[in-house]
Structure formats: structure tokens, C-alpha cells
Amino acid sequence: MTTMKILIHGASGRMGRALLRLATADPRFQVVAAVIGRSLPALDALSIPVFGPGQLGNTPNFDVAIDFSQPDGFDAILGHCLARNAALVSGTTGLSAEQQQRLTDAADKIPVLWAANFSIGVAVLQDLLVRASAALQGWDVDIVEAHHSGKKDAPSGTALALGQAVQRGGGKAPHYASLRAGDIVGEHTVQFTGIGERLELSHRAGNRDIFARGALEAAQRLAGRAAGSYQLAELIFR
Ligand code: NAD
């Protein structure tokens, strides 16, 4: 079996640590570089080469970069993938419209996949929302999301993606509410309110492994493809 060479960008973060743990235990992957924003002593034991954000140019070549960092680190990893002609899987949320456009432009040259949420449950929820919105025309729509207190962007990228699914189904523009508390991994409820009745659809993430596994599966399927912008559903769920 040929192992896929991956670079993990944001490796010292909550998602990065889950990715490192799962990728290093999976024989399909070889983590050739971990790009961190702060020190991560456990990496010494794993013998993975570690690079700071300013040292991207020094990394070995890789097939695909998996990026779960912050928006201010996104342009650098996108540029690095272009320079190395490697694929990019990114779950970093809070990207600006200009960054989304740069990602779209990069897809002319390399395979890219960005998703606000890499869990199977949220992919199914998006499908359900298109159907519910089409059936509940004119109902008020509210999206309430809760995350840990360290999350920077609000509403979450997932909440915005759920809102887009509602609008694809012809539903009203949603109102958003965000809670930031404790160590909540990620919870989203979409509430449709009519006259005298209410429908709620909820997803609760119990741990970060669900996102990390989705990102690794996406990386496995993305590397080696033609340049282009790929959707999670077309690579994994169909
Ligand atoms: P975190 O704050 O725990 O980790 C962020 C990591 O990025 C850290 O290692 C930090 O050092 C690094 N970083 C910060 N700025 C950087 C820069 N300029 N250059 C390089 N590295 C930099 O955050 P987290 O909880 O791991 O989440 C990371 C991102 O992933 C967030 O945008 C979050 O919303 C998103 N996320 C997406 C999904 C999904 O399924 N798409 C799931 C969970 C989290």
C-alpha cells in the first residue's frame, strides 16, 4: 500500500491534535510535517517534523495539506499548496469573502476541498433542511449554535452552511444566535416556527474525532485528483 504524505496545519490546536492522533495510527497516512502555532511536546515522541508558521518553505513535499487553523494562517497554507502542487483540505472557518475567492482561484491549479463541517450527521442534516424548507414555506427559521468558549468566529461556519441549505430549499432567511461556553464541541439546532407548531432539527457533536475522521477520508480521496473545487458529499457520502 502506498502511504499518503500529509502535512497538518494547525497541529497544536484542538482539531490538529485529534488529526495527529488518528493519522499517526492509520497506516494509509504518513504525517511528514506538523505546522504548529505553539509547542506540542507529544510530537517529540511521535518523531514528526515540526515547523512554525513562518517555516512553511522548509517542509518536505506532501500529497495533501489538512488545515484546521485560523483565518490569518489560511493564505500561507493555500500558497504553500500551490507552490508544491499539492491538494488542500481545509476546515478553517471564519474565512473572508476574499479568502474564499482565493480558494476558488486556486482550484484552477490544485484540488481543493473546504467544508464548514466534516461530520456525517451534519451532511445529512443539510439534506433534511432543503426538504423541510421546501415543505414549510413562510415559516420563521432560527439557527442556534453552541461552541466552546475559545471559538473565535460567530455564527459558526456550520450554522451559516445550514442557513444556506435552508435558503436552497426556499425557506425564509434565518436568524442566528450563538452561545460560547465551557468545552462544548459543537451543537446546532434549526428551528422552523409556524402558527401553533414548531419543528426542531438538532445535531450534537460529542467529540472532535468525527471531524478529523471526515477530513482524513476527504484527504485520502482528494489527493491525486485533477485540479478543481470538490464538495465533501461528492467525495465521501455519495
Ligand atoms: P484551536 O484554536 O484549538 O487551534 C488552531 C490552531 O491553529 C493552533 O494550532 C494555532 O496555533 C494554529 N494557528 C493559529 N493561527 C495560525 C497561523 N497564522 N498560522 C498557522 N497556524 C496558526 O482551534 P480548533 O478548535 O482546532 O479549530 C481550528 C479551526 O477549525 C477553526 O476555524 C474552527 O472553527 C474549525 N473547525 C472546523 C471543523 C469542521 O468540521 N470544518 C470542526 C471543528 C473546528
Same domain as 178, residue 125: yes
Q: For the chain, what is the domain count?
A: 2
Same domain as 133, residue 72: no
Please name which of 74, 76, 162 lies closest in space to residue 116, comparing C-alpha atoms.
Answer: 162
Same domain as 214, residue 201: no
Same domain as 100, residue 11: yes
Same domain as 151, residue 76: no
Q: Is 151 a catalytic residue?
A: yes
> Ligand 1: which atom is nearest the Cα of residue 185?
43
Same domain as 221, residue 108: yes
* Span from the CA of 70 to the centroid of ligand 1 (angstroms): 5
Same domain as 200, residue 213: no
Same domain as 109, residue 10: yes
φ, ψ of residue 98 to 5 degrees: the values are -65, -40
pLDDT, residue 44, reads 66
One-letter identity of residue 30: Q
pLDDT, residue 42, reads 64
Grid look-up 453552541 returns: 146
Domain range for 32 is 4-114+209-236
Q: Is 175 a catalytic residue?
A: no
Grid look-up 489560511 returns: 74
Write the residue with the smallest CA distance to atom 31 of ligand 1: 92
Longest CA–CA span in the chain (Å) reads: 62
Same domain as 105, residue 21: yes
Task: Give me the CATH number covering residue 31.
Answer: 3.40.50.720
* Span from the CA of 119 to the centroid of ligand 1 (angstroms): 16
pLDDT, residue 40, reads 67
Same domain as 81, residue 39: yes
pLDDT, residue 237, reads 66
Task: Give me the CATH number covering residue 164.
Answer: 3.30.360.10
pLDDT, residue 178, reads 98
Q: Which residues line ligand 1 (CB under 6 A)?
A: 10, 12-16, 35-38, 53, 68-70, 72-73, 91-94, 115-118, 150, 211
pLDDT along the chain (238 residues), means of 10: 92 94 96 86 76 93 97 97 98 97 98 95 94 97 98 96 97 98 98 98 97 95 95 80
Same domain as 43, residue 145: no
Same domain as 199, residue 103: no
pLDDT, residue 125, reads 95
pLDDT, residue 61, reads 97
